Amino acid sequence: MNQTSRPFRALGFFALGGLIATSTILLTPHSGRSIPATGLKDSPKALVDEVWQIVNRTYVDGTFNHTDWQATRQQLLSKNYSSKEQAYEAIRTALKKLDDPYTRFLEPQKFTELRQQTSGELSGIGAKLALDKTTKVLTVIEAMIDSPAFKAGLKSGDQILAVDGKPVKGLEVDKAVSLIRGKPDTIVKLKIARSGKNVFDVALTRQVIQVSIVTSAVKQEGNNRIGYIHLSEFDDHADTQVKKAIQSLEKQKVKGFILDLRENPGGLLSMAVGVSRLWINEGAIVKTVIRSGESSTDEADRTAVTQLPLTVLVDGGSASASEIVTGALKDHRRATIVGTKTFGKGIVQQVNPLSGGSGLNVTIARYFTPNGTDIHHKGIVPDVVVPLTKAQTKALSDNPKLVASPSDPQYVKAVQSVSKLIQSNAAMVPTISNVAFPQSKPSLNQ
């Protein structure tokens, strides 16, 4: 993991996540945990004060949304809490005063789920699952190679009727999936329905699965071989997975790239910097400013892995870390940006583990693009704006196979954009006919 910028090292690690999908926030230890007041240790009141202390110390707005934050503490500590649930509700009520949807309290179960999901590793069976829109039954989309699901012979289209004897039909996907996940080396039993076969049971041993957040392919578009990379979020493996995709595609002789960040809600700040560094060789990537006004700039470090032409696809679901990458590539004129205006989230959160296993997500900084642009609540307008109709949006949502195909208008425009860049790039490459060679020096053989 990349080191955090100098002014923020005392504050721990940083995460970025869009409001649309907050589960992309990575959870890491907080190095500056507050100490509960004497006599309150391990009590609900201690948790309330712990939350107040963290917000008081790190929240980006020193006015706390023009509220008396000291008075808020007195109100919180003047109450007696007979249960953790009462403390949780008091914390949520206090945080509402900040009017910041990104500063929020996470109960232990939600905190654990986020931690597992956003670390880029999960303990489970290694199958992509979805709820069939017609039957409302949990269905296997794909079994990851070498995963427990793959080794057990699960196939695309298999329907999961029960988990450890508990029927899952009608359950939300997240709830059903939570039943399947569990500690590594433990066994989960699934009841499977498969077309043309009687219902059968299968027992799988859970293991740690590294989640793939990158899909890539070579697209033959006219005379050009184009490398297509889709990044779904910025978890702890984002830069490594994108780098491998770039290198693999270059070995397949692509002439340019399309980086698809549509519906990517964000993730780790360090991964936004890391992914940017794969494309930008030098210069600023993002400037971050904390409450005191102290700032730090993350820069490229001459480790770019390609200089081939690049076009980036974005939309209203491209948020936070996606916007850092987009802003850096746009300001450096390293890529042409295609699609629709991005979400507009220009702030940074720190996620703090709390006593009892809960967590607190706190906005602790603002960020700016290399040119000093504040994109918060504004978003980034693409160089080439390509809106989609409601019918087009629905078609792409209902049939993911249409994404990055001739039926995807934004992708089609991205292909046109990168093709022009490839053509311009080729025109700049010297050929044998226009290179002036130096005269040969005489040798003893002449």
Query: 217 Cβ partners below 8 Å, 6+ apart?
Result: 227, 228, 404
Q: Are 72 and 91 in contact (CB under 8 A)?
A: no
Q: Are 304 and 279 in contact (CB under 8 A)?
A: yes
Told to judge if 169 belongs to the known catalytic residues of this protein, a careful annotator would answer no
Residue whose C-alpha is closest to residue 329's, from 340, 315, 314: 314
Told to judge if 345 belongs to the known catalytic residues of this protein, a careful annotator would answer yes
Q: Are 72 and 90 in contact (CB under 8 A)?
A: no
3-state secondary structure 153-168: CCCCCCEEEEECCEEC
Catalytic option among 5, 147, 320, 417: 320
Classified as helix, coil or strand, 21 is: coil
Catalytic option among 331, 408, 417, 419: 331
Report the C-alpha gap between 249 and 229 in whole angstroms: 9
What letter would DSSP give residue 434? Answer: G
Report the C-alpha gap between 272 and 286 in whole angstroms: 9
Classified as helix, coil or strand, 305 is: coil
Report the C-alpha gap between 157 and 142 in whole angstroms: 8
Residue with tokens 């201690």: 46
Query: 334 Cβ partners below 8 Å, 6+ apart?
Result: 279, 280, 310, 328
Classified as helix, coil or strand, 67 is: coil
CB atoms within 10 A of CB 210: 15
Query: 138 Cβ partners below 8 Å, 6+ apart?
Result: 129, 130, 131, 132, 159, 160, 168, 169, 171, 173, 176
Query: 41 Cβ partners below 8 Å, 6+ apart?
Result: none
Report the C-alpha gap between 26 and 348 in whole angstroms: 12
Catalytic option among 270, 345, 408, 419: 345
Told to judge if 331 belongs to the known catalytic residues of this protein, a careful annotator would answer yes
Answer left, alpha or beta for residue 175, where phi above 0 means left and psi between -120 and 50 means alpha: alpha
Report the C-alpha gap between 266 and 23 in whole angstroms: 9
Classified as helix, coil or strand, 345 is: coil
Residues noted as catalytic: 320, 331, 345
